[in-house]
């Protein structure tokens, strides 16, 4: 089962292994974020602030829908990493085929639901009537190809769980190039509308999903995908749900909370909506090292625990956590300095730049608690305690955040209320995680 392009976390230098796994993962996520941001950047520069607001207003909806399956992919990755670390090839193959079968079924159902329900969903988040035609066009076309997004995340999760973060990177580079070229051709050359940006995105996602599938069919670390073996095994599906359901529900409910907050943002003028959306794209890049290292921690802990080496898991967890926090603050400082320039890449509207930069400067130096929270969640998921981060993050990032924003806006209708909600809730989740990790022996104190 060896592969010189994959990382085996059960042996070798810990820090070097985490970095070797994280860098391709980071670059892969960077390119994924790049083709997501390309729609916003090109739409903002070619079609104007109103079209930019229309695209931005549906970002939280897309995350809410796809986030559940991304979380399920993480849970399946824990099952696969455990089986791989334990050398249980038979269970490994069952888990992989069950994961793919589940992804196909779920992707088809989600696509049908999103396409049919587009107008109703957009009204749920109080999309302004003047933005409704453009928002509906973008969201419906994107939804028609959401199957490919689900499948890419499922297949990428399998490859990462097997220790291969390089090939997903290669495929994302290709799909990112496809997306940007199609955006420029559809919008820049042919003058097509916002729907063409969504079309470019789903074509590029299909490319990356197909490339991942072909790699697995050819044989990934000795495991070959066979269509005749695609079925949902009850035992493996139960294990995937055990680890993946908490992460999936967490992502979806966080997405739902962000959608509720987006509805609050939608009560402000279009330049505030656009600035909020642009900052969300920039923050997506900023948080990439955090999310990449956190996923590496999940895989590291799952593999080493599966191999029966909890002390190595604990040591590696805190090496990775230190990297996570240091990277978050370094990038936050850069964002603080260059915020207006970065927002200006997406729009030349002075008010969009003003409000996007304002949000960046409120949050930029406070990324260390979100890094600690993501890292803690990654450690606990890898250790099989997926329900803990689910409850912590749902309580702080969803329930408290939504209540705070809606109540505070009743007294002061100012975008700063929305901006301040994020660092406030990051501090709450980090405090709860620190207390839990200390009590359970992952941090300093032993049981």
Residue 7 in domain: no
Q: Facing residues of 223 across strands? A: 220
pLDDT at 447: 42
The 8 Å CB, 24+ separation contacts for 437-442 are 437/376, 437/379, 441/314, 442/314, 442/317, 442/379, 442/383
Q: Which residue has the tokens 């990755």?
A: 77
Task: Please state whether 97 falls in left (phi above 0), alpha (psi between -120 and 50) or beta.
Answer: alpha
Of residues 32 and 109, which shows the higher confidence score?
Answer: 109
Which range has the worst mean pLDDT, 10-14, 229-233, 429-433?
A: 10-14
For residue 56, the number of C-alpha atoms closer than 13 Å in the C-beta half-sphere is 33
Count structural domains, the chain: 1
Share the mean pLDDT of the chain.
Answer: 84
68-100: b or e for each residue (b if 16 or more CB lie within 10 Å)?
bbbbbbbbbbbbbbbbbbbeeeebbbbbbbbbb
Of residues 446 and 53, which shows the higher confidence score?
Answer: 53
The two three-digit tokens of residue 174, written as one number = 């290709």
Neighbours of 330 (CB within 10 A): 11
Q: Which DSSP state fits 186? A: I
Residue 230 in domain: yes
Residue 220, pLDDT > 60, answer no
pLDDT at 4: 46
pLDDT at 108: 93
Q: How far apart are CA 216 and CA 375, in angstroms?
A: 29
pTM: 0.69
Q: How far apart are CA 65 and CA 297, in angstroms?
A: 25
pLDDT, tens digit, for every residue of 44-88?
Answer: 778 877 777 777 666 667 777 777 887 788 778 888 887 877 777
Could you tell me the pLDDT band of residue 1, with boundaries at 50, 70 and 90?
A: very low
Burial class (CB in 10 A: 0-12, 13-18, 19+), 442: buried
Collapsing DSSP to helix, strand or coil, 223 comes out as strand
Residue 322 in domain: yes
The two three-digit tokens of residue 346, written as one number = 């997406």
pLDDT at 302: 83
Residue 1 in domain: no
Of residues 298 and 50, which shows the higher confidence score?
Answer: 298
Neighbours of 143 (CB within 10 A): 26
Neighbours of 234 (CB within 10 A): 9
Residues 72 and 240 sit within 8 Å (Cβ to Cβ): yes
Q: What sign for the dihedral angle of Cα 3, 9, 12, 15?
A: positive
Query: Residue range 102-123: average pLDDT?
Result: 88
Residue 6 in domain: no
Residue 8 in domain: no
The CA-atom distances, in angstroms, between 216 and each of 24, 231, 298 are 18, 16, 22
Residue 371 in domain: yes
Neighbours of 173 (CB within 10 A): 16
- Backbone φ and ψ of 243, nearest 5°: -90, -30
Residues 201 and 186 sit within 8 Å (Cβ to Cβ): no
pLDDT, tens digit, for every residue of 245-297?
Answer: 887 877 777 777 877 888 899 889 888 988 998 898 888 888 888 888 888 88
Residue 79 in domain: yes
Q: How far apart are CA 253 and CA 240, in angstroms?
A: 19
Range of the domain at 392: 14-440
């Amino acid at each position: 089962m060896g592969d010189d392009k994959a990382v085996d976390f059960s042996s070798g230098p810990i820090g070097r292994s985490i970095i070797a796994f994280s860098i391709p993962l980071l670059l892969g996520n960077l390119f994924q974020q790049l083709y997501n941001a390309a729609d916003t950047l090109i739409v903002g520069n070619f079609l104007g602030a109103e079209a930019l607001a229309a695209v931005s207003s549906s970002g939280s909806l897309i995350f809410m829908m796809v986030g559940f399956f991304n979380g399920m992919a993480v849970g399946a990755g824990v099952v696969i990493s455990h089986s791989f670390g334990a050398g249980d090839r038979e269970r490994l193959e069952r888990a992989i085929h069950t994961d793919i079968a589940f992804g196909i079924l779920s992707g088809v159902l989600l696509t049908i639901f999103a396409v049919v329900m587009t107008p109703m969903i957009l009204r749920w988040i109080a999309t302004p009537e003047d933005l409704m035609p453009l928002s509906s066009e973008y969201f419906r076309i994107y939804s028609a190809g959401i199957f490919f997004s689900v499948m890419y995340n499922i297949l990428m999760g399998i490859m990462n769980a097997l220790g291969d973060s390089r090939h997903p990177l290669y495929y994302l580079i290709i799909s990112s190039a496809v997306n940007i070229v199609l955006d420029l051709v559809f919008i820049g050359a042919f003058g097509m509308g916002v729907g063409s940006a969504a079309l470019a995105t789903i074509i590029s996602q299909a490319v990356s999903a197909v490339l991942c599938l072909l790699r697995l069919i050819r044989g990934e670390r000795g495991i070959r995908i066979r269509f005749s073996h695609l079925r949902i095994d009850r035992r493996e599906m139960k294990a995937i749900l055990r680890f993946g359901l908490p992460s999936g529900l967490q992502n979806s409910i966080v997405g739902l909370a962000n959608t509720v907050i987006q509805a609050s943002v939608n009560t402000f003028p279009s330049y505030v909506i656009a600035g909020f959306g642009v900052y969300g794209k920039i923050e997506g890049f900023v948080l990439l090292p955090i999310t990449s290292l956190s996923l590496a921690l999940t895989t590291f802990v799952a593999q080493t625990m599966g191999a029966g080496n909890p002390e190595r898991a604990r040591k590696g967890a805190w090496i990775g956590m230190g990297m996570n926090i240091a990277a978050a603050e370094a990038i936050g400082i850069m964002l603080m300095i260059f915020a207006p320039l970065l927002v200006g890449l997406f729009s030349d509207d002075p008010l969009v730049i003003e409000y996007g930069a304002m949000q960046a400067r409120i949050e930029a130096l406070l990324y260390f608690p979100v890094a600690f929270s993501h890292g803690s969640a990654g450690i606990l998921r890898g250790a099989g305690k997926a329900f803990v981060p689910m409850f912590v993050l749902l309580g702080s990032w969803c329930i408290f955040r939504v209540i705070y924003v809606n109540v505070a806006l009743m007294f002061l209708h100012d975008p700063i209320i929305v901006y301040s909600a994020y660092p406030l809730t990051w501090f709450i989740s980090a405090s709860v995680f620190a207390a839990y990790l200390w009590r359970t022996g992952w941090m300093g104190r032993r049981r």
